[in-house]
Amino acid sequence: MTRQVEAHHYCSHQNQDVRQCLIYDSEGPEARLIGVEYMVAEPLFLALPDDEKPLWHSHEYEVKSGMLFMPGLPGLVEHKDLEQVCKTYGKTYHFWQVDRGDELPFGIPQLMMAFTRDGQLREELAKDIEGRYGVSFEKEREKREYMKGPENGIHPLANGAGKGQMLELREVDLPPVSSLPRAFI
Amino acid sequence: MSSSDQEPQPAPVAGSDGPTPPGKAMTLERKLIDEGAQILQSKKPVSQMKQHLCSFALYGHDPCRQIEAHHYAARLNEEVLQCAVYDSDSPSARLIGVEYIVSEAIFEKLPAEEQKLWHSHAYAIKSGALTCPGVPEVMQRQELKGLAKTYGKFWCTWQVDRGDRLPLGAPALMMSMQTGMAQPEMVKRRDEKYEVSSEALKESRKEMPEPEKIHPNADYWKLHGKGFAVDVVQMDMNSPPALAASAI
């Protein structure tokens, strides 16, 4: 809960139900590429294997709380998109922990979770973003009250299934490097 | 569960038939929102990706498994690049990971434990495995001369090649092509598509300088016979994972 990061997502649609996003630590030309996120519609999330679901997080809270927004887009257009995002699940990995001062992407990836309830987001981080972008999370929250989350409710296995999840590196013995490398063509 | 070197559990989105990814076609409303965003929002970080590099990568936990990788590279400074990596160069390409590239000087200062996660680029470039599609070789050589002495760290987040229709499991650490490893059919297919000849590129790059020696901690699998996989483990709730606040 202690480490929280502002993240700028640049998203493209693979189709109506799947987005893939590059995540940067700012929106300027010098921004560092810190991670990736994939976002899927609810039916696709439900089709994931059960041991995969905990790696994905819900977006309902982040959208409805106002903290997730699309800089520069008029409210009506933004809301059209966010109505969809509200029902999706995301999977996010960060590779570069700039928030702790890493000058390069050290170590292994971090599995990122989303905010899921009030009281998690640090006050000063919220105020800083609101100030810079001229938005008010509180006002947005009121406007977004009508939005609905996943049709089937937030799946109990999402968001780490209620537990923390972290990644660990493991050394593996390799089979002898044969003269027949495989490629799935 | 969900380790990078484990086959996913059977599921409609793992190894089954159908498009990758699954999902409905984009609606008109969706396209209009995207057009609006395209016009109204600036994409400065993304527009820094000025170069397209096509090469081959190996899975760090199974170097016999190889993929064609398309890197869209942005330079942060003279010594560091960051790349979004896709499985093709088409508009429908899947984002399969991220690679960071650093100079020899920066690599040498990294702690040993960190260096093990990185791979060299000299062989991939000098063998002609790596090419910049569409760029005449005489121009490519200039840029690649600098890259031949760099080291990269590549995390693959979507194992499309094994049939994952959505990104499953933990990220996989990737390694670079080394001597004698390239799967001939894979290279031939790439060469035909881009009308290049790896052999001709190799010939043209014979005199290209390379590091005096590749650092022994890089390309870890090659020298130590061991690779790396990534596991997902459950943690004590007193130290939960990092949360991300988004601006989207």
CB A65 within 8 A of CB A114: no
B37 and A93 in contact by Cβ < 8 A?
no
Q: State the nearest Cα–Cα gap between B83 and chain A, in angstroms.
A: 8
The predicted pLDDT at position A68 comes to 92
**Total CB pairs under 8 A between chain A and B:** 314
Distances (CA, A) of A178 to A174, B58, B65, B156, B179: 11, 13, 11, 23, 12
Residue of A nearest to B8 (CA): A49
Q: Within 13 A of B179's CA, how many CA atoms are on the CB side?
A: 2
Q: State the nearest Cα–Cα gap between B232 and chain A, in angstroms.
A: 5
Banded pLDDT at B241 (limits 50, 70, 90) = low
Selecting from A6, A71, A110 the residue whose C-beta is nearest the C-beta of B41 gives A71
Residues 19-58 of A with CB under 8 A from B: 20, 22-24, 26-33, 35-36, 38, 40-41, 44, 47-52, 54-55
Residues of B within 8 A of A175 (CB-CB) are 62, 64
Instruction: Give CA–CA dist B63/A100, Å, rounded.
Output: 33
B186 and A183 in contact by Cβ < 8 A?
yes
Question: CB-based burial of residue A69 (10 Å sphere; 0-12 exposed, 13-18 middle, 19+ buried)?
Answer: buried
Per-residue pLDDT, averaged over B144-168, amounts to 96
The β-bridge relationship of strands B62-77 and A182-183 is: parallel
The predicted pLDDT at position A4 comes to 83
User: In percent, how much of chain A has pLDDT > 90?
Assistant: 79
Residue B87 pLDDT > 80: yes
**B197-239 per-position pLDDT tens digit:** 999 999 999 999 988 899 999 999 888 889 999 999 988 665 5
For the ranges A68-72, A88-92, A167-171, B69-73, the lowest mean pLDDT is seen at: A68-72
Per-residue pLDDT, averaged over A135-141, amounts to 93
B167 and A91 in contact by Cβ < 8 A?
yes
Residue A138 pLDDT > 90: yes
**B37-51 per-position pLDDT tens digit:** 999 999 999 999 999
The residues that bridge with A169 in the sheet, in sequence order, are: B230
The predicted pLDDT at position B10 comes to 87
